[in-house]
C-alpha cells in the first residue's frame, strides 16, 4: 500500500478546524455500493458478505484511492484533523453494524418524508434477530489504512455513540432482547472492544456519533418522529433514558489512553431532511459534566431551531467545544464574516480558547442521502472552516 507523504501544512497543537466524518462519495463508489446491496432492504455488510465479497473488495479499492485524495484536500483546506470520508461505509453507523453477527434484514425499506413533504425510500435499519456478537473490525481496518496514508497528520475514526441504540431506529424483532436497555449492555461491551482494536491499529482520535440526547428535548421532529416512543413503552421516562444514555456513553469513553483524543458529535438528524429541533438547555449541564469526552461537536448552524449558544457555559474548563455553525444541509456557502461573528457570539458563553469550528454534520452520513450533492460546495465549506480558524485562532 502506498503512503501519502505529510503535507506542507501542519495541524495546530489544539485542533480548531475539523470535519465531522463523512464526505461525498464519487459516482464510482456510489455505483459499487448499489451493486453490493442490490435487492437488500438494509445496508449491513455481514448480511451480504457470503455472496458479494468480491464486490465489497472492489468498493474498498475504490474507497482507498478516493480517501487518499480526500485526506490531502482536507489538509490543504486548513483542517487540523482529517477523516477517510467514511467512503467505504454505506452509513455512518457501519463501523458498528458491519462488526457484528446477529442482525437480520428488515421486512421492507424505510419510507421517510421531509419537511417539504417529499417522500423518500431508503435502506431500513437491520433487525436485532439474535444476540449480537463481535465478528469483524471495520473501524480498526480504517485506522490501519489511515495510519498508512495520513503521513503522521492527525486523523479521526468514528463509531456510533452507544446511546443511539436507545432510539426507535432500533428494531429488536427477534426476541433476543426484551428491551432497548438490555440491548445496550451488549452494545457497550462490543463498542469498547471495537475502540480498543481501533486504537491498537493506530487511531489516536476516536469520535462517537449521534447520541440520544436531542430526542429528549425535541420540540419538533419532522420525519424523525419522537424516536423514544418504543422506550417509553418499555417503561422508560425521559429521566431514566437520560440516566442510561449518559452511563453508556461514559462507559465506552472512560479508560481510553491519555494519548487518544475522545470526542462526541451531537447530531440532530441528517436523513432526507428530517431534523430535531429544541434547546439543549434542560440537559446541557449533565451532558457536559457527566461525560468524560475531551471534545464536543454540536450542531448549531440554526439557533432558531436549536436554541442559542448559552448551554455551552457548562463545558468544563479542560474541554473543547467545536461549534457546528457551517451547514451541510444546504449547498450555499455561508458568509465568512457571519461565521466569525457566530464564533464570537459563542465566546460570550465560553472562552475562545475552548472553542473550535466544524460543519454541523457529515456531508453524506447515509448512503444516497446528500443534502449537499456537489463536491465543490463541500470543499468550499471545509475551506471556509479552515479560513475562519486561521482568522480567529491563527496558527
Minimum mean pLDDT among 129-133, 165-169, 357-361, 388-392: which range? Answer: 165-169
231-238 long-range contacts, CB within 8 A, separation 24+:
231/166, 231/167, 231/168, 231/179, 231/180, 231/181, 234/178, 234/179, 234/180, 234/181, 235/179, 236/166, 236/180, 236/181
Nearest to 207 by CA among 67, 18, 43, 17: 18
Average pLDDT, the chain: 91
How large is the average pLDDT for residues 183-187? 97
pLDDT at 220: 56
The tens digit of pLDDT for each residue in 322-337 reads 999 999 988 999 999 9
Q: What is the rounded distance in angstroms from the CA atom of residue 211 to the CA atom of residue 296?
A: 12
pLDDT at 304: 84
Minimum mean pLDDT among 29-38, 108-117, 353-362: which range? Answer: 108-117
Percentage of the chain with pLDDT > 70? 91
- Flag whether pLDDT at 54 surpasses 80: yes
Q: What is the rounded distance in angstroms from the CA atom of residue 155 to the CA atom of residue 242?
A: 30
Helix (H, G, I), strand (E, B) or coil at 254: coil
How large is the average pLDDT for residues 241-251? 97
- Flag whether pLDDT at 117 surpasses 80: no
Give me the domains of the chain, ranges plus CATH numbers.
27-393 (3.20.20.210)
- Flag whether pLDDT at 2 surpasses 70: no
pLDDT at 171: 84
The tens digit of pLDDT for each residue in 202-233 reads 999 999 999 999 888 877 545 444 677 778 78
Q: What is the rounded distance in angstroms from the CA atom of residue 144 to the CA atom of residue 203?
A: 8
pLDDT at 74: 98
pLDDT at 223: 45
Q: What is the rounded distance in angstroms from the CA atom of residue 367 to the CA atom of residue 331?
A: 18
For the chain, where are the alpha helices, taking DSSP H only?
A: 27-36, 49-76, 94-97, 138-149, 180-200, 213-216, 229-233, 238-253, 281-290, 303-306, 336-346, 375-393
Minimum mean pLDDT among 168-182, 218-232, 255-269, 281-295: which range? Answer: 218-232
Most confident of 7-16, 210-219, 386-395: 386-395
Minimum mean pLDDT among 162-171, 177-186, 218-227, 238-247: which range? Answer: 218-227
254 pLDDT band, cuts 50/70/90, is very high
306 pLDDT band, cuts 50/70/90, is confident
pLDDT at 189: 98
How large is the average pLDDT for residues 190-194? 98
Q: What is the rounded distance in angstroms from the CA atom of residue 6 to the CA atom of residue 152?
A: 7
188 pLDDT band, cuts 50/70/90, is very high
DSSP state of 367: T
pLDDT at 275: 66
The tens digit of pLDDT for each residue in 59-111 reads 999 999 999 999 999 999 999 999 999 999 999 999 999 999 999 999 888 77
The per-residue b/e assignment along 177-189, b for 16 or more CB within 10 angstroms, e otherwise, is beebbebbebbbb
Amino acid at each position: 500500500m502506498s503512503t501519502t507523504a505529510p503535507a506542507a501544512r501542519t495541524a495546530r497543537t489544539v485542533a480548531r478546524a475539523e470535519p465531522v466524518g463523512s464526505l461525498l462519495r464519487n459516482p464510482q463508489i456510489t455505483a459499487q455500493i448499489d451493486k453490493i446491496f442490490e435487492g437488500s432492504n438494509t445496508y449491513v455488510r455481514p448480511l451480504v458478505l457470503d455472496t458479494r465479497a468480491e464486490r465489497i473488495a472492489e468498493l474498498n479499492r475504490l474507497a482507498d484511492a478516493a480517501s487518499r485524495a480526500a485526506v490531502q484536500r482536507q489538509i490543504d483546506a486548513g483542517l487540523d484533523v482529517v477523516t477517510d470520508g467514511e467512503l467505504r461505509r454505506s452509513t455512518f453507523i457501519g463501523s458498528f453494524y458491519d462488526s457484528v453477527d446477529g442482525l437480520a434484514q428488515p421486512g421492507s425499506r424505510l419510507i421517510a418524508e421531509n419537511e417539504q413533504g417529499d417522500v423518500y425510500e431508503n435502506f431500513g435499519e437491520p433487525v436485532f434477530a439474535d444476540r449480537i456478537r463481535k465478528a469483524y473490525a471495520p473501524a480498526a481496518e480504517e485506522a490501519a489504512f489511515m495510519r498508512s496514508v495520513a503521513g503522521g497528520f492527525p486523523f479521526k475514526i468514528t463509531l456510533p455513540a452507544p446511546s443511539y441504540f436507545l432510539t426507535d431506529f432500533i428494531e429488536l424483532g427477534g426476541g433476543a432482547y426484551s428491551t432497548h436497555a438490555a440491548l445496550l449492555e451488549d452494545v457497550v461491551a462490543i463498542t469498547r472492544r471495537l475502540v480498543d482494536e481501533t486504537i491498537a491499529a493506530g487511531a489516536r482520535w476516536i469520535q462517537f456519533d449521534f447520541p440520544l440526547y436531542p430526542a429528549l428535548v425535541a420540540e419538533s421532529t419532522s420525519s424523525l418522529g419522537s424516536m423514544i416512543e418504543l422506550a417509553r413503552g418499555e417503561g422508560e421516562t425521559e429521566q431514566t433514558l437520560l440516566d442510561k444514555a449518559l452511563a453508556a456513553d461514559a462507559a465506552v469513553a472512560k479508560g481510553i489512553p491519555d494519548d487518544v483524543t475522545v470526542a462526541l458529535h451531537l447530531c440532530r438528524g441528517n436523513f432526507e431532511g428530517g431534523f430535531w429541533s429544541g434547546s439543549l438547555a434542560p440537559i446541557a449541564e449533565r451532558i457536559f459534566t457527566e461525560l468524560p469526552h475531551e471534545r464536543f461537536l454540536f450542531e448549531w448552524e440554526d439557533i432558531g431551531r436549536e436554541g442559542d449558544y448559552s448551554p455551552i457555559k457548562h463545558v468544563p474548563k479542560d474541554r473543547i467545544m467545536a461549534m457546528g455553525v457551517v451547514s451541510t444541509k444546504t449547498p450555499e456557502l455561508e458568509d465568512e464574516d457571519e461565521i466569525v461573528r457566530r464564533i464570537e457570539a459563542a465566546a460570550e458563553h465560553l472562552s475562545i480558547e475552548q472553542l473550535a469550528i466544524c460543519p454541523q454534520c457529515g456531508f453524506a452520513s447515509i448512503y444516497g442521502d446528500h443534502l449537499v450533492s456537489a463536491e465543490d460546495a463541500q470543499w468550499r465549506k471545509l475551506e471556509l472552516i479552515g479560513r475562519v480558524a486561521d482568522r480567529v485562532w491563527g496558527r
